[in-house]
């Protein structure tokens, strides 16, 4: 079976596996207090142009989001997100489990708009309601779209006007960088905090949370430990981000996603050429074609993908995901099969 | 520097690294729904003699404890633990962060006694107090002692009498098995749930939570996801436990700790032979010798260890920890150095 | 100033004040273990025709909702409610503060529909999302509409089909009863739990939570105490509900709301007669007329009311609320003033 | 039956009942935004000599403690308290339910000592443990003892040295004032926040939380609402504290407890004169005599009291509590009966 199921089906880039093996018997201190973590922090600070940033390594995205949001907000404060946002839908209420409401807003093309943020703030005027205090966005979004620099700057403005933190979930940040979205430096300039996703971009696991706003920095490691995110062998996280950012620029990190995006766009073009529509105009490694049910059925035995929606009685929207490891021949095999059954 | 700092300073047993590398490009489904996880579950069920057991893989110990306790208890229910228990002291209030009180009891030789459990239950008679509902024990304990089968059976009896679940934190379970503590099958027979520690016994990371009590099984994966413990590349956990329990008996898993224990006992004998006392009579891979301050100072540049306590103005209790990877020459180097400075 | 601001502006019905004064020096045990509470429980059991019901007295509505929801749900379970539902909007995230997500659904005329419930369940198919487990409705709704018996029966059916509890927030239950909504007996038959509102219907304070589903009954008092809702002088709650349900039928309790409804409908007719539209067709003690801004401005110095919405640049929707204590002359004074400024 | 069961068996001082009745139909705005609440706030500010204090009215003590602690602490921060402290024992884990650990310390004569606070801080040095951030004390303590001004100043010093807030639970503050403990002005000077108990000193219900530390003031009403403590008819709280502090000095408030203390000391002297010992040397309205079991048995049919402890096989420690409403003849009746059965 050829899998387009997700971008976490493979292990890690070979250079990462090699680095982990090489360090296996070094004997490192625990809990990310080791030299690898220190170097990885410095490399990320360099890549984002912010030597003052605090960088923390966590294992997964839901953990990172819940830990950061719970740490940054007071109990009655809420986070504004697109209703399609990962924290609103796909984290089993992890944010609510820390006591905070997610205020869900309608999204445009998967993206939260300044107008939606302003409306959410206006709808919560007093102490009988939660107090919106943070904006959560995903780059790329859950449907593969990308915030431009201009869009991010507009969101920053509304955050400043309304007293909101801006937090960016970068589970697929590399795909956004590769697709020409806001740069690492711009994100670091405009966000109060964000995370750089490793799991979905060639690490075994790991996310690097970057905190820019000095008010949010104190005691953050207590929060990581309390929420169960402090990896004993934290040097494994350091080693992986050392590899991903070895160049100190993010170029290698981005290049892995550039491949994934290229494979996805090859899928997109091929599918479009056969006349099939898409649920949205994704420019990154997730594509959402809408296919006749019998076509989906015919493809299912040989190709892995997720069912995304049922737009009408005879069609299915599926999700195809590519990664750093997707071979071009897999894409071509899919397109050939699609051609055959169309 | 030679480290006796902890048992999570090295990466993983070479066979585990090899297995991860071998599976790198297989393309596995996410979230521990993969064939490796399935096989690892079956191997563990075999090793504990309980094909009916639910087995879940999580990344770390604090995460496992907090997730299990939060899942098993109703909001006003509490967990009874030794005051030296990991959840009471070293998890930054992770259990309390899920809303539950830890009722701390005096320990004997690091172990919780049936009498202490009964006293804790008696002290909470009505709805103005939390309701004790679970007993938490660590095998091995935080000071390296081990519950015997007889002791575990006595705890089970008091749990039955008082309507309490029995939960065993097996972060160092292998050390307990190797030291002749209650067997895997006995633990599975006597506990409602327990976890088999991987992180401190040759895995890169990972703990296998085993749920025996059918009432505690439903929907457990929701809890893992909500608490941030659902690893995207869950196959990494499956692969590791497949290796650790490849024999379906726990023999290999235990053998790794047998080495660690042997190295620790070699340390213990050597230190005792020099006339130094110990804070407790540990039979496993943590040893707590009490040394004159100047001796500790002399050893510190060349050997890594933690400071455990300050029993008087001129002495320090240090913690020495060995692992599956501790070379015998490291032990001998320490003993030689200690002899030199004594 | 004549107030139509809310239904909790006055103290209590004179008979309640008298009963509290009469019992002042009786010397009652605390925490609702007193004879008044026992009698009030029996009277409510009689009025709803369910001698098996558990009845608990709490001080306020937000407290009652949060306590019940937190007690009834497991950590990853969620409550479905209309997006206009009190728990979704007006309780400062009290439900989320206990760890549970509110799944907000579009409402029809302020009411949750079976179709919306079914859609919410369908949208949460697996462990990556919260698990809907309870339906929350308000009787009367937040905009004064009322669930009929038939509507409640349909909701019960969908709850049975989907494995959901049905919980009814009866802050304004009396107004619903007086307006011909489902009866107390029907509500007790169809809901797993509901509360009978005292605060907004002539008590100083107090809500009577009624639990019908036996699975939800055990240990509920622990939850009340833990959430801060266990009133030390609980006999004050018993005394008040003894008065409200002295007849053992709910007739007196309902009659107080019948007056409030009558006053509201008198307002409604008078305002409609002047040609003004309403935001919704409320049949109970809250009315939402839409008035020209200059009319609202002219009325504001002499009459108290809340601003509800701004439907366009020149009109304001205001909320007028009546209570058991609203004198007819206040209504007529408002209508006269409205006529004057129209 | 003559009750010495607790100090919340009676309703309210007649002047309070009268004031509530007088204001019954005034028509006040909700949620303590009314003129009574405003006046009560000003009167309390005057009585404590701190016009800058924020004063909030809540219904009960557990609610007040949990709301304040959850509002003041960040998620990983903990509160230090005597192991006999109300939050540690008698609030069904209400503090833990908000996510915070109570660090229990040994008490001396019911009181927390500076040495115990320092030891608790020293035992929590890093991010693997909770971070102590607040000291909780009760005035009077749970066994009727009283912090002197000097003791309070010592606690303030250790709090300053260790970066801790000082919070005082004043459920029985009036008894402490009447017994010569630290004055209202001193408490306001030395604490970051404290509450003035109404429930146990002649109010129907109600506690006035006083926040002195400006850093703890913002948005506090959000916390009250979220934790279910925002009373709809908040004017009832304002009216009661208006009465209790009508003089703007606390003299009337203290005088009510002076009577309770006098009655308790009359009990104490009478019991001591018969040769019975006490579990502790309480100087306020709770007394803990140790009596032979047969004496306790003989008194039980005619007198209400709680069983406190069983110091040996033949004796029982009972708790006798007096209040503002305890008639001297009740005390004398008890002493006479005790004499008879001794």
With an 8 Å Cβ cutoff, the interface of chain A facing chain C consists of 75-76, 78, 89-93, 96-102, 104, 127-130
Considering chain C, what percentage of its residues have pLDDT values greater than 70? 100
* Chain A touching partners, 3 or more CB pairs below 8 A: B, C, D
Q: Write out chain C residues lying below 8 Å of A62, CB-based.
A: none
pLDDT of residue A86: 97
Partner-chain contact C128 A91, CB within 8 Å: yes
Q: Write out chain D residues lying below 8 Å of B75, CB-based.
A: 97
Partner-chain contact A222 D99, CB within 8 Å: no
> Shortest Cα distance from A46 to chain C (angstroms)?
35
Distance of CA C107 to the CA centre of its chain: 17
- The whole-number average pLDDT for the span C153-170 is 98
Average pLDDT score over chain A: 97
Any bridge partners for residue D58, and if so which? Answer: D207
Q: For A112-158, how does the pLDDT look when each residue is reduced to its tens digit (9 = 90+)?
A: 999 999 999 999 999 999 999 999 999 999 999 999 999 999 999 99
Partner-chain contact D9 C21, CB within 8 Å: no
> Shortest Cα distance from A61 to chain D (angstroms)?
20
Residue indicated by tokens 């997720």 = A306
The CA angle C17-C18-C24, to the nearest 5 degrees, is: 90
Q: Write out chain C residues lying below 8 Å of A130, CB-based.
A: 92-93, 96
Residue D166 to residue D157: CA distance in whole angstroms:
10
Q: For D145-199, how does the pLDDT look when each residue is reduced to its tens digit (9 = 90+)?
A: 999 999 999 999 999 999 999 999 999 999 999 999 999 999 999 999 999 999 9
Q: For A34-60, how does the pLDDT look when each residue is reduced to its tens digit (9 = 90+)?
A: 999 999 999 999 999 999 999 999 999
The helix (H) or strand (E) run that includes residue D237 is helix D235-244
Q: Write out chain C residues lying below 8 Å of D14, CB-based.
A: 24
Interface with B, mutate which of A4, A11, A96 (most B CBs under 10 A) = A11
Of D246, D244, D269, D264, nearest to D254 (Cα)? Answer: D244
- The whole-number average pLDDT for the span C126-153 is 98
The pLDDT averaged over each successive group of 10 residues in chain D (342 residues) is: 94 98 95 98 98 98 98 98 97 98 96 98 97 98 98 98 98 98 97 98 98 98 98 98 97 98 98 97 97 97 94 96 97 98 92
Measured between CA atoms, the residue of chain D closest to residue B78 is: D93
Partner-chain contact D128 B97, CB within 8 Å: no
3-state secondary structure of A42: helix
Q: For A13-31, how does the pLDDT look when each residue is reduced to its tens digit (9 = 90+)?
A: 999 999 999 999 999 999 9
Q: Write out chain C residues lying below 8 Å of A100, CB-based.
A: 93, 96
pLDDT of residue B106: 96
- The whole-number average pLDDT for the span C54-78 is 98
CB-CB: which of B78, B96, B128 is closest to D101? B96
Residue by residue, DSSP assigns C319-340 as EEE--TT--HHHHHHHHHHHHH
Are β-strands C165-169 and C193-197 bridged in parallel, bridged antiparallel, or unpaired?
Answer: parallel
> In the structure, what pLDDT confidence band is assigned to residue A85 with cuts at 50, 70 and 90?
very high
Q: Write out chain D residues lying below 8 Å of A226, CB-based.
A: 75-76, 130
C-beta separation of B299 from B341 below 8 A: yes
Measured between CA atoms, the residue of chain C closest to residue B218 is: C74
How many contacts does A have with C, using Cβ atoms within 8 A? 53
Q: For C102-120, how does the pLDDT look when each residue is reduced to its tens digit (9 = 90+)?
A: 999 999 999 999 999 999 9
Q: Write out chain A residues lying below 8 Å of B98, CB-based.
A: 97
pLDDT of residue A12: 98
C-alpha neighbours within 13 Å on the C-beta side of residue D188: 22
C-beta separation of C243 from C40 below 8 A: no
Partner-chain contact B128 D90, CB within 8 Å: yes
pLDDT of residue B264: 98
Average pLDDT score over chain C: 97
* Number of helical H runs and strand E runs in chain B: 14, 13
DSSP B115: H
Partner-chain contact A93 C128, CB within 8 Å: no
Residue by residue, DSSP assigns B278-324 as BSS---SSEE-BEEEHHHHHHHTTTEE-EEEEEEETTEEEEEEE--T
CB-CB: which of D75, D128, D219 is closest to A131? D219
- The whole-number average pLDDT for the span A72-81 is 98
- Alpha helices (runs of H) in D112-214, residue ranges in sequence order: 114-122, 149-162, 173-178, 184-190
Of C105, C111, C137, C112, nearest to C281 (Cα)? Answer: C111
List Cβ neighbours of A314 (8 Å cut-off, separation of 6 or more): A292, A293
Taking residue C21's Cβ as centre, other Cβ atoms within 10 Å add up to 17
* Chain C touching partners, 3 or more CB pairs below 8 A: A, B, D
pLDDT of residue B101: 98
* Chain B touching partners, 3 or more CB pairs below 8 A: A, C, D
> Shortest Cα distance from A277 to chain D (angstroms)?
47
- Alpha helices (runs of H) in chain C, residue ranges in sequence order: 14-22, 35-48, 61-72, 86-89, 94-97, 114-122, 149-162, 173-178, 184-190, 220-226, 235-244, 251-273, 293-299, 328-341
Q: Write out chain D residues lying below 8 Å of C230, CB-based.
A: 60, 62
Partner-chain contact B27 A12, CB within 8 Å: no
Q: Write out chain A residues lying below 8 Å of C75, CB-based.
A: 97
Tens of pLDDT along chain B (342 residues)? 899 999 999 999 999 999 999 999 999 999 999 999 999 999 999 999 999 999 999 999 999 999 999 999 999 999 999 999 999 999 999 999 999 999 999 999 999 999 999 999 999 999 999 999 999 999 999 999 999 999 999 999 999 999 999 999 999 999 999 999 999 999 999 999 999 999 999 999 999 999 999 999 999 999 999 999 999 999 999 999 999 999 999 999 999 999 999 999 999 999 999 999 999 999 999 999 999 999 999 999 999 999 989 999 999 999 999 999 999 999 999 999 999 998
């Amino acid at each position: 079976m050829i899998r387009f199921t997700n971008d976490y089906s493979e292990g890690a880039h070979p250079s990462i596996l090699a680095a982990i093996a090489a360090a296996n018997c070094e004997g490192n201190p625990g809990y990310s207090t080791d030299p690898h973590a220190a170097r990885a922090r410095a490399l990320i600070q360099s890549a984002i142009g912010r030597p003052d940033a605090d960088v923390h390594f966590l294992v997964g995205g839901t953990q990172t989001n819940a830990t950061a949001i719970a740490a940054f907000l007071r109990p009655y404060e809420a986070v504004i997100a697109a209703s399609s946002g990962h924290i609103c839908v796909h984290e089993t209420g992890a944010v609510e489990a820390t006591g905070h409401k997610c205020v869900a807003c309608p999204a445009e093309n998967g993206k939260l708009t300044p107008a939606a943020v302003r409306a959410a703030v206006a709808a919560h005027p007093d102490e009988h309601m939660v107090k919106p205090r943070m904006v959560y966005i995903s780059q790329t979004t859950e449907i593969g779209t990308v915030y431009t620099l201009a869009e991010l700057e507009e969101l920053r403005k509304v955050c400043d006007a309304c007293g909101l933190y801006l937090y960016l979930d970068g589970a697929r940040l590399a795909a956004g960088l590769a697709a020409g979205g806001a740069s690492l430096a711009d994100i670091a300039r405009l966000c109060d905090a964000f995370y750089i996703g490793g799991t979905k971009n060639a690490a075994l696991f790991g996310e690097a949370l970057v905190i820019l706003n000095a008010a949010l920095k104190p005691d953050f490691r207590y929060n990581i430990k309390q929420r169960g995110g402090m990896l004993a062998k934290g040097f494994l996280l350091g080693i992986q981000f050392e590899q991903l950012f070895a160049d100190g620029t993010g170029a290698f990190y981005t290049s892995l996603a550039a491949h994934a995006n290229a494979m996805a766009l090859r899928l997109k073009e091929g599918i479009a050429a056969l006349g099939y529509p898409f649920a949205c105009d994704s420019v990154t490694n997730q594509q959402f074609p809408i296919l006749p049910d019998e076509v989906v059925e015919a493809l299912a035995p040989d190709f892995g993908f997720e069912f995304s929606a049922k737009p009408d009685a005879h069609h299915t929207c599926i999700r195809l995901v590519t990664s750093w490891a997707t071979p071009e021949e897999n894409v071509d095999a899919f397109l050939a099969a699609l051609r055959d059954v169309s």
